Amino acid sequence: MLYSSNEVVFSAGAVVFDAAGTRVLTIAFTGNKGDKVVVFPKGRVEEGESLKDAACREVEEETGVVCKLWPCGLVGLETRYSEEVQKTKVVYWYAASIVETREQHQEDKWMVPTWIHVADASNVLTRDDDRRLLELCWIQKQKAV
C-alpha cells in the first residue's frame, strides 16, 4: 500500500535499561477511558531529525532520563492505523541504557516516569506490542553480555 507524506506519522522511542540492567523505564498515565496506561517513551520525529536523535530526545522530554542507544539499532517497528485521524503511525524502537537523569519537561508532567523490573513487565505493561518489544530488547541485551 502507498501513502502520501500527510498520511503517515513517524515516531521513535526507546526501551531504556537501568545501570544494573534489571529494570526498564516506562511512562504511566491515565488513558482516554480513565484506565491506567503503562508504555515505553516515544514521540514524533521532528522535521530534519534523525530517528536515533528523536528517540533520545523523546525519552529525555517525557522522563528526564538521558540515554545511550545500543549499537544493535532498530529492534522493532509497529504500525497502527487510527480511524479518527486517518493516519498510519510507524514507530521505530531502539534499546538503550541510562546515562543520567535530568528534569522532566514541564509539558510532559502528566506522564509519570516509572522504572519496572523486567521480571514484572509482562504484568505491568499495557500493550502486547510493548511486551514483545521488551522480549526483543532482552534478547539483544543477553547477546551483548
pLDDT digits (tens, 9 = 90+) for 59-84: 999 999 999 999 876 666 666 666 66
88: β partners: 8, 81
Q: What would the pLDDT profile of 101-142 be if each residue is shown by its tens digit?
A: 887 766 767 889 999 999 999 999 999 989 999 998 888 888
SS3 18: coil
Output helix, strand, coil percentages for the chain, rounded to the nearest 5: 30, 45, 25
The pTM (predicted TM-score) of the whole model is 0.87
Is the separation of the CB atoms in 90 and 11 below 8 Å? yes
Return left, alpha or beta for 128; rule: phi > 0 is left, psi -120 to 50 is alpha, else beta. Answer: alpha
Domain limits at 110?
5-144
Q: How many domains does the chain have?
A: 1
Instruction: Enter the C-alpha cell of residue 3.
Output: 501513502
Q: What is the CATH number of the domain that holds 118?
A: 3.90.79.10
Is the separation of the CB atoms in 98 and 19 below 8 Å? yes
Pairing mode of beta strands 87-101, 8-17: parallel
Mean pLDDT across the stretch 85-101? 87
